[in-house]
Structure 1
């Protein structure tokens, strides 16, 4: 008989993703407001093109920091807390910065698909990252430990909290 705890059920992991999307939207809005205040409202030109070169990298750094710090300091994002799940190593230990960064990089790769906007429509550029995340999460439906590609690469998994 195996003593390895069962992975968190898929419905709890996907519910946490929905909650985290709301948290990320809030983070992006706050960073956007602060950037607007710093630039006097001149982040974009009259056509809506971003002119502050640092704005999008700043958004990526702040959102990435939210996930990384959440994973290495307690193993839970805001979205994971109500569903009582957390990220741990295969052995059940806390995620260290190396594993957290690797998990973040792999999970964040679909964001690069937003660059399709330069050669395709805005609609394609917005749907492409969603398709990328579906590809990253698809193995979790078939893997015995319910791991996505980002968890496989980082050697992590999502487990329910012990009661």
Structure 2
């Protein structure tokens, strides 16, 4: 006779029912959430920067440890997103009623959330690498235009996916769904 109790090794993600027909939120709603996430990350950067500069006794932003600080922020962001995405939502996603799920409609594992974090850098790394490779110096305004242009192009490329998902989600095996369309 099958047991009514879940296995002791089951994770909460295994106990969730599979997603059947959750709606895909519109691109502009997801981008609004993305911008709001950037505002919330300001607080994360502030606290992480204060901690790093205090413990490292940095005197100014042009300190020689700047690359180490950038690597530290990369790790801090990775922890932030991996923890929240492995629970299904960041604070901004809760506000915009969005949820991250895997292909089966379950909350992604921490490993899958980490892969999504690493793949999400496709939003920034290509234009930054191109700017770095240019044989001439570009101004801050030109960098802003190039980054903004790339982000808009990358966001609009989701229109070419059958479910209009962002390509880093497709590659990571995740997708963003409307949290209000999920069963409670």
Contact 1:145/1:157 (8 A) holds in 2: no
TM-score scaled to structure 1, two decimals? Answer: 0.80
Larger Rg, first or second structure (1 or 2): 2
2:83 corresponds to 1:69: yes
**The residue matched to 1:57 in structure 2 has which SS?**
helix
Q: How does 1:58-97 map to 2 (within 5 A)?
A: 58-72=72-86, 74-97=87-110
> 2: distance between equivalents of 1:75 and 1:155?
14
Q: How has the CA–CA distance of structure 1 residues 43 and 56 changed in structure 2, closer, same or farther, with 3 Å as cutoff?
A: farther
Corresponding residue to 1:27 among 44, 49, 55: 44
1:155 aligned partner: 173
Q: How does 1:5-24 map to 2 (within 5 A)?
A: 5-24=22-41
Structure 1: unaligned runs, 5 residues or longer: none
Contact 1:87/1:95 (8 A) holds in 2: yes
Q: How has the CA–CA distance of structure 1 residues 51 and 127 changed in structure 2, closer, same or farther, with 3 Å as cutoff?
A: farther
Number of aligned residue pairs: 156
Structure 2: unaligned runs, 5 residues or longer: 1-19
**The residue matched to 1:80 in structure 2 has which SS?**
helix
Contact 1:106/1:149 (8 A) holds in 2: no
Q: How has the CA–CA distance of structure 1 residues 88 and 127 changed in structure 2, closer, same or farther, with 3 Å as cutoff?
A: same
TM-score scaled to structure 2, two decimals? Answer: 0.72
Q: How has the CA–CA distance of structure 1 residues 126 and 38 changed in structure 2, closer, same or farther, with 3 Å as cutoff?
A: farther
> 2: distance between equivalents of 1:88 and 1:95?
6
Q: How has the CA–CA distance of structure 1 residues 122 and 101 changed in structure 2, closer, same or farther, with 3 Å as cutoff?
A: farther
